[in-house]
Amino acid sequence: MTEMTEIADMETIPGESNNQLALTTPEAQPIKRRKKKSMVWEYFTIENVSAGCRRAYCKRCKQSFAYSTGSKVAGTSHLKRHIAKGTCRALLRGQGQDNNQFITPYNPKMGGSEPPKRRYRSPSSPFIPFDQDRCRHEIARMIIMHEYPLHIVEHPGFIAFVQSLQPQFDKMSFNTVQGDCVATYLREKQSLMKFIEGIPGRFCLTLDMWSSNQTLGYVFITGHFVDSDWKLHRWVFNVVMEPYPDSHSALSHAIAACISDWSLEGKLFSLTFNHPLSEAGLENLRPLLCVKNPLILNGQLLIRNCIARTMSSMAKDVLGAGQEIIKKIRDSVKYVKMSESHDDKFIQVKNQLQVPSEKSLFLDNQTRWNTTYQMLAAASELKEVFDCLDTYDPDYKLAPSMEDWKLAETLCSFLKPLFDAASILTTTTLPTVITFFYEVWKIHVDLGRSITSEDPFISNLAKSMQEKIDKYWKDCSLVLAMAVVMDPRFKMKLVEFSFPKIYSEDAPTYIKTVDDGIHELFLEYVALPLPLTPTYAEEVNGANNGKTNESHYGNLLSDHGLTDFDVYIMETNSQQMKSELDQYLEESLLPRVQEFDVLGWWKLNKMKYPTLSKMARDILSIPVSAAAPESIFDITDKQLDEYRSSLRPETVEALICAKDWLHFGSSDVSNALVKMEF
């Protein structure tokens, strides 16, 4: 580089007038100063040290560098090196305060055909020292969030890529990145535990048992709860490895570990799972619930059926009954989608026939039943195109018959109610248990009608499906009904309307069970002391700290003075306390709107119903599905992949839990909007 090239990086010295001359050419002609470009002047200042001699001083470490002597200018390259190469000790000490990194120069040792072209930096992109610790932290987050293998840091391709970006980056080992991932998990867990400490209500847990190729079980435990702002949350709490997943104590051991880990003693309201369990196993679980009577509502606070798994099992019945026609339609779709020319001909025929369908053909994923339903539904709407396709494409000889299409439409009529109900579980609004009282009841009634069909195919398929929905209804209908009672649009009225259509003359008995159960549960909440969550305790302490008058009356009203009086009031006013529930039930129903924020309503009415609102908060947090939203439509059991099965159980838990927390931690979870149409 020539001296004039270096001059291109010269800056206006702070404090000097823009009218002064920066340099003088041999002809002594003034040259206008260029507008400041180089970013080094964010780190350096220019000072006159003697006549005609100026030096550049680092703002951080105060070290000085040659800048100009007379007409000779040293340029800025050596100043850039001081900042970019990390030799400034003061800058290194504060490097953790900025997330940006250097753009490093070309290194011929790293390979590559040509050095990069010169890049000009704008004033908005300063030089920032390289931070090894922050890079390690971000790599751990990347591995967690995208489920990359921990060994990726030892892969030659990854090492070459990272060092091409930053040659100063030190290679990481498997053990190092494993420790970084666990450290990230522990940091996130600490934040979540602080958040949970202030939760005023109880917790509901779902248990999803995964298998592995080592015959080990992994229990995914997810917590569901409503916070002090009446928002519903769903977090993966633990992933517990169980060496004997079929034992009586497998689930109870995992839950006990979760309760101890998160300090949930006395706060567990309900359990939802879908793992076959003996009566002995159930007896191990019941004592873990916080309700005094674990057999309340016929013991249905232990929800032994996951609605997602029940609907997937019913969908498998439908797909099994129509497997031959499904294969025919799948082959036809495959023929169209296998080549661009076939697809173009299909679209050409569709346009000529003016078929109004907006659906597009696609091949299904046979491990997810919703994709098979969507494939059948789309193909059925386009059946006219398939029927005429052979006239435009003589090679197509797979067209299903009219009877085949009729059967496909029958299959879709069975799958659509299941698909619509299951799709609710995949939304981000975290639907409450209220929704599924109506959805399950509707499916149950529809199947009852189909059983009476004169078509043996429809009748037999409906019978097979109804056996499974009957079992779910028997195990879960009472707790679903209890949630409906907590909806001010329905209360007991929807229960009284729905049960006769299923139970006929036995309906009054089941209606009474719901009414008795909800009154019994309410009495438990009446007897509970006011919860002193950290948030509430701080408010109380803050109020007390403002009072300086410790009079006789203050001592009289303390906990030590009138504890027995509180018991007396509770006993003598028990009838009055119970009337809070009766008053709620006797009031008229709210107008039925399609979208209704039931948690928001209870938030607004918690002063009117102080005890009942606490019970409603816990009931409305009961989950109906133990499956994760992305697994709702799976028809195969979940299995931990071979790589993760090879990791330590603690590492598996850290990776899975931290991913869930990082994914949802930065976004607010909205209240559940219960959608229901009649």
User: Is residue 95 over pLDDT 80?
Assistant: no
Q: What is the dihedral of CA 291, 294, 297, 301, to 10 degrees?
A: 80
What is the predicted pLDDT for the residue at 293? 76
Q: Which range in 99-103, 121-125, 524-528 is most confidently predicted, on average pLDDT?
A: 524-528
Give strand pairing partners of 674.
Answer: 596
What is the predicted pLDDT for the residue at 532? 42
What percent of the chain has a predicted confidence (pLDDT) above 70? 78
Is 492 strand, coil or helix?
helix
How would DSSP label each residue in 183-235?
A: HHHHHHHHHHHHHHHT--S-EEEEEEEEB-TTS-EEEEEEEEEE-TTS-EEEE
**Mean pLDDT across the chain:** 81
Whether 632 contacts 308, CB under 8 Å: yes
Give strand pairing partners of 236.
Answer: 222
Distance of CA 226 to the CA centre of its chain: 15
Token pair of 52 as six digits: 């005609």
- Helix%, strand%, coil% for the chain, nearest 5: 55, 10, 35
What is the predicted pLDDT for the residue at 374? 96
What is the predicted pLDDT for the residue at 536? 43
Q: Do 271 and 283 sit in the same domain of this protein? A: yes
What is the predicted pLDDT for the residue at 607? 94
Give the separation between CA 342 and CA 349, rounded to whole angstroms.
11
pLDDT, one tens digit per residue, over 565-580 is 666 666 566 555 447 8
Q: Do 299 and 339 sit in the same domain of this protein? A: no
Domain-located, residue 630:
no
Give the separation between CA 264 and CA 201, rounded to whole angstroms.
11
What is the predicted pLDDT for the residue at 43? 83
Q: Do 521 and 652 sit in the same domain of this protein? A: yes
User: Is residue 187 over pLDDT 50?
Assistant: yes
Domain-located, residue 318:
yes
Token pair of 92 as six digits: 């290194």
Q: Provide CB contacts within 8 A for 28, sequence distance 6+.
A: none
Domain-located, residue 495:
no
User: What average pLDDT does this structure show over 482-507?
Assistant: 93
Domain count, the chain: 3
What is the predicted pLDDT for the residue at 553? 40
User: Is residue 546 over pLDDT 50?
Assistant: no
User: Is residue 322 over pLDDT 80?
Assistant: yes
- Its domain, for residue 50, covers 39-87
Q: Do 347 and 373 sit in the same domain of this protein? A: yes
Q: Do 155 and 189 sit in the same domain of this protein? A: yes
Domain-located, residue 547:
no
Q: Do 293 and 318 sit in the same domain of this protein? A: no
Domain-located, residue 58:
yes
Domain-located, residue 136:
yes
Q: pLDDT category, 124, cuts 50, 70, 90?
A: low
| CB-count exposure of residue 149 (10 Å: 0-12, 13-18, 19+) | middle
Q: Do 44 and 189 sit in the same domain of this protein? A: no
Q: Do 270 and 332 sit in the same domain of this protein? A: no
Phi, psi of 273 (to 5 degrees): -150, 170
Question: Where is average pLDDT lowest: 166-175, 286-295, 407-416, 536-545?
Answer: 536-545
Give the separation between CA 67 and CA 64, rounded to whole angstroms.
9
What pTM value is reported for the model?
0.74
Q: pLDDT category, 165, cuts 50, 70, 90?
A: confident
User: Is residue 559 over pLDDT 60?
Assistant: no
Pairing of strands 64-69, 595-597: unpaired
What is the predicted pLDDT for the residue at 674? 43
How would DSSP label each residue in 594-648?
A: SEEEHHHHHHHTTTTSHHHHHHHHHHTT--S--S-GGGTTB-S--B--HHHHTS-
Give strand pairing partners of 210.
Answer: 218
Strand order in the sheet with 203-210: 232-242, 217-226, 203-210, 268-273, 302-303
User: What average pLDDT does this structure show over 626-642?
Assistant: 91
User: Is residue 14 over pLDDT 70?
Assistant: no
User: Is residue 455 over pLDDT 90?
Assistant: yes
User: Is residue 347 over pLDDT 60?
Assistant: yes
Q: Do 239 and 173 sit in the same domain of this protein? A: yes
What is the predicted pLDDT for the residue at 448? 92
Q: pLDDT category, 668, cuts 50, 70, 90?
A: very low
From residue 573, alpha-carbon distances to 327, 359, 568, 614 in Å are 68, 63, 8, 19
Q: Do 194 and 238 sit in the same domain of this protein? A: yes
From residue 645, alpha-carbon distances to 139, 536, 626 in Å are 22, 43, 21
Q: Do 610 and 471 sit in the same domain of this protein? A: no
Q: Do 466 and 349 sit in the same domain of this protein? A: yes
Give the separation between CA 366 and CA 371, rounded to whole angstroms.
8
pLDDT, one tens digit per residue, over 22-61 is 444 444 444 455 555 567 787 888 888 888 788 888 888 8
Domain-located, residue 661:
yes
Give the separation between CA 148 and CA 135, rounded to whole angstroms.
16
